[in-house]
Amino acid sequence: MKKITFVLLIAALMSFLTSCEVNWFDKQYDVPWWMIAVPVVILLAVTWFFGGKYIASKEYVCSKCGKNFYPKWWNAAFSVHINNDRVFKCPHCGRKGFCSPSKKSKD
Ligand SMILES: [Zn+2]
């Protein structure tokens, strides 16, 4: 249900992205949709990458077995979170659930 809403929202946004008129010192240009979409996608990818790297630099503690682990950055970037607790799959026991960050971090 949530995915359908998301897809419909993207489809609605895509319909606005057909082309765009830009006025630049009395001259009018037609800017194709990809000149707007491509930088937005690149910006999102860069944000996702560095956000994931930042989150993955912290060590998390499994709430079941109590062992510490570093999450993979691509998992960290899309992980569900409440405050600092994030949903990860523990590499030691395989439990998937909320993990709190440990006090120390990788430098
Ligand atoms: Zn565990």
Q: What are phi and psi for residue 67, nearest 5 degrees?
A: -85, 150
CA of 69 to the centre of ligand 1 (A): 9
| Beta strand segments in 1-107, E | 19-24, 27-32, 58-61, 68-69, 81-82, 85-89, 96-105
Q: Residue 90: pLDDT above 90?
A: yes
Q: How many domains does the chain have?
A: 1
Distance 71 CA to ligand 1 centre (A): 12
Domain housing 98:
2-105
Over pLDDT 90: what percentage of the chain? 44
pLDDT in tens, 40-77: 999 999 999 999 999 999 999 998 999 999 999 888 88
Does 107 score more than 60 pLDDT?
no
Q: What is the structure's pLDDT at 60?
A: 93
**Cα 29 to averaged position of ligand 1 atoms, centre (Å):** 57
